[in-house]
Structure 1
C-alpha cells in the first residue's frame, strides 16, 4: 500500500536536480559546438590553414583529456554538484573569450577552457542523472543524458547558423545565449535539493589530501568497457568530421556557398543523431549493434558519392544516414557503460568512457586537417570513409561484448 506512493514522491524530489544536471550537460555541449559554423567565417577573416583550424578544434580535446585524467574520479569523492558548479564557470569563461576573440590564438584559449569545463561536467552530470532515476532505470537515465548531449550539440550550431543569416555580428550573438544558459544552470544547481546519499561528498574525504589519480577500470569489466569505448568512438567519429570541417566540406566539395546553410548540416547531423537515440532506446542492444554499423557504412558511402558527384542531395542523405547510425551506436555504448559501472566507480568509469571518445575525435580531426593540406580535402575525406567502414565491420565482430 505504501510503495506506490513512495516512488512518485521520490521522483518529484528528484525532478529539479535531474533537470539541473541535464541542463548543465546541454549547456556545456551547446557551447562547445557553437563555433562549428563560425570556423569558416574566422578562416576567411584571418586566413589560417585547415591544419590550424583542426588544431583549434582539437585543443578543446586537450582540455577535456587533462581534466578527465586528473579529476575524472573526483566527483565520486567530492560530490556531483561540487564538480558541476566549477565546471560551468569554466564553460562561462570560454563563452566570454569566444565572444571577444580577435585572433586564432584567442580561439585556441577559448577552446581549451571550454574543454576543461566539459571534462568536469560530462562525467559528473551523466553519473548524477543515472543515479537519480528513482526506480533504478539505468537505461532511461543513460538515454536522458545522451539526449541532453546530442540536443546541445544540435542546438549550438543551429543558433550560430541562424545568427550568421539574420545578424551583422554572427560570431558574437551565439555566445551571449551560452552565457545566459550558464547563469541559469548555475542558479538551478545552487537551488536544487540534492537527494540524500546520491553523489554526495564522502565523509572521510579531505580536499587537501586529494591527489590526481589515473582513471582506472575494474579488471573484470575491462572487456565490456573496451567494447563500449570503441562503440562511442565510432559514433563520434563522423560527428567530429561534421563538427570541424562540415561547413567547409559543404562549401568546397559540395558547392554550398551560403555559410549559414553549410553550418546547418552539422546541426542537422546532431539533431538526427539525438532523435535516433530516442527512437532506439527500446530496441535490443544486439539488434542495434548490427543495424547501427551497417547504416554507418551506407551513410559514409553516400558521402563518398556526394563528394564524387558534388551532389547536395547525396550529402543530405549521408548526413541523415550517418546521424541515425551514430545515434543507434551511441545508445549501445551509453547503456552498456551505465549498466556495467559499479556505483563507487561510476564517475571514474564514465570519465574514462568519454576520454576514449574525445581522444579518438581529436585524432580523426587532426589527421583529416593535416592530410587536407598535403593531399587535398577530397582524398583525405575518402581516406576517412575507408577507415569508418573498417571500424564499423570491427564493431560488428565484437558485438558479443554488448551485454556486460
Structure 2
C-alpha cells in the first residue's frame, strides 16, 4: 500500500492534532442555545463540557500506551472513528442526553489519537528540529479552535439549523482527514510484545521535566475550561454582547494570537516560554475578570489576546520540555500521561466553575476561576525557572538528551 512521505505525514499528523481542539470546542458557541432550548442550568452546561475531558482521561488511563504497541497510524484511525461517531450524535441530537453521549465519544476519540498524533509530529518533523514540533502543535490546535468557533458562530447567527449544521461540516472534515490518515506510514517505533492495559509511565530521569511540562500543559487546559465552558455566557451575560458571531470571533482572536505567538517563540528555550507564559496567563485572566465588572467588550477582547499569548507559551513550552527529552519508544505513552493529567485538571475545573456559577452566579465563578488560574500560572513560572537552573547546573543530568538541538538548549 502506498504511504505518505515524511513531510506529508507531518502535516497530516498536524491536521489530526488540530482536529482535537476543533472537536473539543465545536459546541462552545452552541452552549447558550442548548441552555435556552433545553432549559438547562449552568451546571448542566459545564457538566456537558466536562464529559469530554473525563472520557478522554479514562481512555488515557487504560489505553494511553496503545500506540506504542499497534503503531501511530492504527491508533489515530481508531480515535478518528470514535470522534466521527460522537460528532454525528451531536449533529442529530434532539436532547441533552444525545449530546452527553456524543461528548463522551468525542472524548474517547481524542484520547486515542491526540498522543499518537503529537508523537507523530515529533517523529516526522525535519531532522534535528524535533523540539520545533511543539510550536507546530500549538499552531495546529489554535487553527482547529479558530476554524471551529468562527464557523459555529457564523452558522448560528446567519444560517439555518444553528445547533446542527456546524457538526455536519465537522463530520465531513473527520472523514476527509481519516482518508489521509489511512496512508500514514505503518510500523515505526513500536513494542513487539502483546499489548495490555497499563497506566502511562514516566521514563526514568524525566521526573522534573515531566512535572514542569505537565503543569504547563495543564494550565492551558484550565484556561480552556474557563473560556470554552463559560466564555460565551460571559460575553453574553456579563459583557452584554448578544451576537453569537461576535462571540465566535472573540475565540478566533484567541486562536490567531495563539498561532502567531507559537511561531514567534518557536526558537525560544521551552523553559523560558513556560516561565513567561505563566505570568502572561495570570495577567490575561485578571483582565477577563475586570471586563465582567466594567461590561467592556474591549477589555474582554484584550483578555482574549493576552490569554492567547499565554496559552501558546505554556502549551508549546510544556510539550517542548517533555517531547524531545523522551525516548521515541516511550513518547506516545509519555505524552498520553501528560494529556491525562491535563484533561483531568480541565474536567475538575469545568465542574467547579459550573457549580460556582449555579450557586453564586457567573461573575463570582469567574472571579474564583480567575484567581485560581492566576495562582496556577505563577506556580508554572516558578517550576520552569527551577528546572532551567537545575539543568544548567548539571548538564549531565539523567534526563535523556535525544538530539543536538536539545543538548544546545541544556
TM-score by length of 2: 0.90
Provide, for residues 137-196 of structure 1, a one-character-per-residue CA deviation record: whole Å limited to 9, x for no partner: 11122222222122112211111001112201122221122111111112112234x17x
**Residue 100 (structure 1) aligned with residue 92 (structure 2):** yes
Structure 2's unaligned 5+ residue stretches are 392-398, 400-410
1:324 is matched with: 309
Instruction: Find the aligned partners of 1:190 and 1:262 in 2 and give their Cα distance.
Output: 36
**Residue 54 (structure 1) aligned with residue 42 (structure 2):** no
How is 1:5-404 mapped onto 2 (pairs within 5 angstroms)?
13-192=5-184, 194=185, 198-199=188-189, 202=191, 204-206=192-194, 210-399=195-384, 400-402=386-388
Provide, for residues 90-141 of structure 1, a one-character-per-residue CA deviation record: whole Å limited to 9, x for no partner: 1111111000001111111000000000001100111111112241311122
Instruction: Find the aligned partners of 1:396 and 1:28 in 2 and give their Cα distance.
Output: 26
User: Residues 275 and 382 of structure 2 are in contact (CA less than 8 Å); yes or no, is this contact kept in structure 1?
Assistant: no
Instruction: Find the aligned partners of 1:281 and 1:242 in 2 and give their Cα distance.
Output: 25
Instruction: Find the aligned partners of 1:252 and 1:365 in 2 and give their Cα distance.
Output: 18
Q: CA RMSD in A?
A: 1.7
Instruction: Find the aligned partners of 1:141 and 1:290 in 2 and give their Cα distance.
Output: 19
1:9 is matched with: none
Structure 1 residues 286 and 126: CA distance shift in structure 2, 3 A = closer
Instruction: Find the aligned partners of 1:32 and 1:394 in 2 and give their Cα distance.
Output: 26
2:406 is matched with: none
User: Residues 134 and 317 of structure 2 are in contact (CA less than 8 Å); yes or no, is this contact kept in structure 1?
Assistant: no
My pick for the range that moved more, 303-312 or 119-128, is 303-312
Structure 1's unaligned 5+ residue stretches are 1-11
User: Residues 280 and 310 of structure 2 are in contact (CA less than 8 Å); yes or no, is this contact kept in structure 1?
Assistant: yes
2:403 is matched with: none
Q: Could you tell me how far 1:311 is from its partner in structure 2? A: 0.9
Instruction: Find the aligned partners of 1:182 and 1:37 in 2 and give their Cα distance.
Output: 20
Tell me the matched-pair count: 386
User: Residues 242 and 265 of structure 1 are in contact (CA less than 8 Å); yes or no, is this contact kept in structure 2?
Assistant: no
User: Residues 247 and 266 of structure 1 are in contact (CA less than 8 Å); yes or no, is this contact kept in structure 2?
Assistant: no
1:6 is matched with: none
Instruction: Find the aligned partners of 1:327 and 1:370 in 2 and give their Cα distance.
Output: 28
Q: Could you tell me how far 1:361 is from its partner in structure 2? A: 0.9
SS of 2:205 mapped into structure 1: helix
Provide, for residues 289-327 of structure 1, a one-character-per-residue CA deviation record: whole Å limited to 9, x for no partner: 332222222212211221111111111111111111111
Instruction: Find the aligned partners of 1:95 and 1:156 in 2 and give their Cα distance.
Output: 13
Structure 1 residues 42 and 272: CA distance shift in structure 2, 3 A = same
Q: Could you tell me how far 1:286 is from its partner in structure 2? A: 4.3
Q: Could you tell me how far 1:52 is from its partner in structure 2? A: 0.6
Q: Could you tell me how far 1:82 is from its partner in structure 2? A: 0.9
SS of 2:182 mapped into structure 1: helix
User: Residues 131 and 198 of structure 1 are in contact (CA less than 8 Å); yes or no, is this contact kept in structure 2?
Assistant: no
TM-score by length of 1: 0.91
Runs of 4+ in 1 over 3 A off after TM superposition: none
My pick for the range that moved more, 389-398 or 224-233, is 389-398
